[in-house]
Amino acid sequence: MASLTQAKCLVVKIGSALLVDRSAGGLRRDWLVSLAEDIAWLKASGIDVVIVSSGSIALGRGVLKLPSADLPLEQSQAAAAVGQIRLARAYEEVLDPHGIMTAQVLVTLDDSRNRRRYLNSRATLEQLLSMNVVPIVNENDTIATDEIRFGDNDRLAAQIAVTVGADQLVLLSDVDGFYSANPLQDKSAKRFDIVDDITAEIEAMAGDAGSGLSKGGMKTKLMAAKLATGAGCKMAITNGFAQNPLRALQNGAPATWFTADTDPSAARKRWIAGMKPAGTLELDAGAIAALHAGKSLLPAGVSRVTGSFQRGDAVAICDAQGHALGNGLVRYTAEEAARIMGRKSHEIEDVLGYPARAALIHRDDMAL
């Protein structure tokens, strides 16, 4: 079973039912204070932490005194707008006493589907983590309509874990794991400690255990597990209702861990290696040696650019004879690459007329 303190980057998803008191409609503040203690403990162990938190609609609903039934879209969007500001402030209030900075990041489904926006959200999250900030992520429910939304934060959390290259994802939920059947309906249902493989049989066991406040059930949790583990990120489902839920998980509270057979950087390289290149970059011998030594590809080492590609596309990295050495995700368009090839990094801004990214292909974005 995974140990939280071994994570390099941990994404924690908080379900609405944990944050918001179902009957009173307000925040469960004591619980949130205890969660902040856990986050502070993990941060002090040198772990990057990203929180994906639900609760904007549930909180806003309480403030606006809306009924507890399903809301029409415009009302849930309005509730999200009212609730989100309180949600973000609550995290700031409980983490600040630990000296932990927070940031609000609201995303939509398009931010993972559209390459350019995906790269932008990835860069922003990486920047925040490098500044030791804990990003508090939620879907931008105020502008997302049904056709263009994740709808549940289980899959959103898995997508965020993949985006930042996290190695562990914990879904703090109101169920303590993945069961062979719905435990509320079937007394013989058994919880799995570990799932190594999400087989068709496992998928058939996922009923739809929604809790009333949150959108996700076991189906969305399994989809999240597939997405995360496929990218080398282990995932746990555990009941987060009691105080200090992450400590409890570390100390052996009931949970289901979905294992991953690879790590995030190997999974990413495999994904890049499998992409169809939209063009090629031909390199001189010095640049090839630098890449093999683990360096990023700088424009100075490129002698020829072919194909038509956009920022973020895969290109083949070739030697002077045109033999492919591998793939990389390029940070410039084909047109820009042709203009800056052979140039020293400090010349790029003059050539392009705008500030440059130093690398043409970052070393993390390469599979040789």
Q: Is position 223 an interface residue for ligand GLU (rule: CB under 6 A)?
A: no
Q: Is position 244 an interface residue for ligand GLU (rule: CB under 6 A)?
A: no
Span near ligand GLU by CB under 6 A; candidates 208-216, 223-231, 264-272, 350-358: 208-216
Q: Is position 215 an interface residue for ligand GLU (rule: CB under 6 A)?
A: yes
Q: Which residue has the tokens 């993990």?
A: 42
DSSP letter at 179?
A: B
Residues, the chain: 368
CA 114 from centroid of its chain's CA atoms: 15
Among positions 141, 313, 336, 365, the unique one binding ligand GLU when judged by CB under 6 A: 141
Span near ligand GLU by CB under 6 A; candidates 66-74, 135-143, 198-206, 230-238: 135-143
Q: Which residues contact 182 (CB under 8 A, 6 or more apart)?
A: 189, 207, 209, 218
Q: Is position 62 an interface residue for ligand GLU (rule: CB under 6 A)?
A: no
Binding string, 6-45, against ligand GLU, x = CB under 6 A? ----------x-----------------------------
Interface residues for ligand GLU in 268-287 (CB under 6 A)?
A: none
Interface residues for ligand GLU in 145-174 (CB under 6 A)?
A: 152-153
Beta pairing class for 48-53 and 279-283: unpaired
Q: Is position 112 an interface residue for ligand GLU (rule: CB under 6 A)?
A: no
CA distances for 28 relative to 2, 16, 94, 331, angstroms: 28, 10, 12, 44
The three-state DSSP-derived secondary structure of 305-346 is EEECCCCCCEEEEECCCCCEEEEEECCCCHHHHHHHCCCCHH
Phi, psi angle pair for 303, to nearest 5°? -110, -15
Question: First-to-last CA distance in the chain?
Answer: 32
Shortest separation between residue 73's beta carbon and ligand GLU, angstroms: 13
Among positions 48, 139, 313, 365, the unique one binding ligand GLU when judged by CB under 6 A: 139
Nearest C-alpha neighbor of 311 from the set 122, 131, 91? 122
Q: Is position 142 an interface residue for ligand GLU (rule: CB under 6 A)?
A: no
Binding site for ligand GLU (CB under 6 A): 16, 54-58, 80, 138-139, 141, 152-153, 214-216
